[in-house]
Amino acid sequence: MIDVKAPPLPPKGGVPAARRRAYRPDRRHVPVLATLALLILMYVLGVANYDGFSDIQVLLNIGVDNAFLLVVAVGMTFVILTGGIDLSVGAVVALTTTVAATLLHAGWPSALVLPLVLLVGTTLGLGMGSVIHYFKVEPFIATLAGMFLARGISLLINRNSIPITDGFWTFMAQRRIRFGPGIFISTSVVVALAVVLTAALVLAYTRFGRTVYAIGGNADSALLMGLPVTRTRVGVYTISGFCSSLGGVLLSYYMLSGYSLHAQGMELDAIAAVVIGGTLLAGGSGYVLGTVLGVMVLGLIQTILTFQGTLSTWWTKIVIGILLFAFIVLQRLVTRKAR
């Protein structure tokens, strides 16, 4: 006769403690999950309150209208992951649009203007990163100086809006990738998604990406581990400069103009998108996917206000401010529990 033992009874209270712990999400994922939940809640409220809000093109328009911000925010994600900040991104975007429009208006070929303006932003980022690392200047001060420099050069070049009529720029501005009647995205969205995918792969699967997280966690420990702290710290500001100039190119596609006062306050929008997306301001934790969700939250706020029609656009800033406070508090709670 086979002795069949009964399975052990679960402890008093139901599911074993180890299994209960397995159901809990990683604390690092809590801010991103909160952003996703907020995005879903906002969308559901929009669908419930406004006719036509459920149209798929409404969501796609968020990408069309914010592709340039998404690219800038991806660059900002690299910087904030190291515990830094970049206040120059909006000014670099404006400088890019101004230089591009001026050169195109002067008859320069777009094949030369495009790489040149990307090089301008990348060089500015490289310079600020070098100053921050080698001269031990606080990122806030160095990038503030970069902001004044880029904006000042833009105003020096031209204080007026410069229309862009170049054939390539016009083609990129008007080109639509269609999925059906009335359903489309712009080429800028494709560029932004390519940047997001590349950034996610770099952060997840390269030594550079691992070093970015390590510096944000503890720069001294990363240095003792033999990681290339210098190259990485300068590199993230170079990436931010490149993303800012690329964002400027996408903004010039969107506006078909260059203007020295473009993108005022964009640095704050980019920081807000990154923080609402779950990246810790202290560095060391965050995901590019969270930044995408953060940009979508900002875009959805603007969309809801547009559908409402009776509220001032300043409500966008008020709601973003409230969300920033909420997510900063959430980050503090999560990091405190982790310690």
Rg (CA), the chain: 23
Give the domains, in start order, of the chain with CATH numbers: 28-338 (1.10.3470)
Let me know: does 290 contact 278? Beta carbons within 8 Å.
Answer: yes
Check pLDDT > 80 for residue 5: no
Question: What's residue 339's pLDDT?
Answer: 55
Q: pLDDT tens for residues 219-256?
A: 989 999 999 999 999 999 999 999 999 999 999 999 99
Dist CA 29 CA 65 (whole Å) = 28
Residue whose entry in the numeric block shows the structure tokens 């100086």: 145
Q: Dmax over Cα atoms in the chain, in whole Å?
A: 97
Beta bridge partners of 162: 258
- pLDDT of 4 reads 47
Is residue 263 within 8 Å of 93, Cβ to Cβ?
Answer: yes
Q: How crowded is residue 1: how many other Cβ atoms within 10 Å of its Cβ?
A: 3
The structure tokens 């340039």 sit at 68
Q: What is the pLDDT of residues 36-80, one digit of tens each?
A: 999 999 999 999 999 999 999 999 999 999 999 999 999 999 999
Asked if residue 258 lies in contact with residue 102, where contact means CB atoms within 8 angstroms, the answer is yes
Distance CA 331, CA 321 (A): 15
Distances (CA, A) of 32 to 102, 203, 326: 41, 16, 13
Give, for 249, the enclosing helix (H) or strand (E): helix 229-255
Helix (H) or strand (E) holding 162: strand 162-163
Amino acid at 305: L
Query: Exposed, middle or buried: residue 240 (CB in 10 Å: 0-12, 13-18, 19+)?
Result: buried
Average pLDDT value for residue range 194-210: 97
Which pLDDT score, from 0 to 100, does residue 2 have?
A: 45
User: In this model, does residue 84 exceed pLDDT 50?
Assistant: yes
Q: How confident is the model at residue 13 (pLDDT cuts 50, 70, 90)?
A: low
The predicted structure's pLDDT at residue 49: 92
The residue that leads in pLDDT, 321 or 152, is 152
Rounded CA separation 143/178 (Å):
40
The H-or-E segment that residue 180 falls in is strand 176-180
Predicted confidence at residue 55, as pLDDT, reads: 94
Helices 89-105 + 139-157 axis angle, to 10: 20
Phi, psi of 185 (to 5 degrees): -130, 165
Report the DSSP pairing between strands 257-258 and 183-186: unpaired
Burial per residue of 11-30, b for 16 or more beta-carbon CB atoms within 10 angstroms, e otherwise: eeeeeeeeeeeeeeeeebeb
Instruction: Read off the pLDDT of residues 117-165 as tens digits, 9 standing for 90 and up.
Output: 999 999 999 999 999 999 999 999 999 999 999 999 999 999 999 999 9
Tokens of 105: 């208006």
Residue 29 — pLDDT band, cuts 50, 70, 90?
Answer: confident
The type of residue at 131 is: V
* Per-chain mean pLDDT for the chain: 90
Strand ranges in the chain using DSSP code E only, listed in sequence order: 162-163, 176-180, 183-186, 257-258
pLDDT beyond 80 at 260: yes
Q: Is the pLDDT of residue 304 over 80?
A: yes
Q: CA separation (Å) from 105 to 99, 110, 328?
A: 10, 10, 45
What is the pLDDT at residue 11?
54
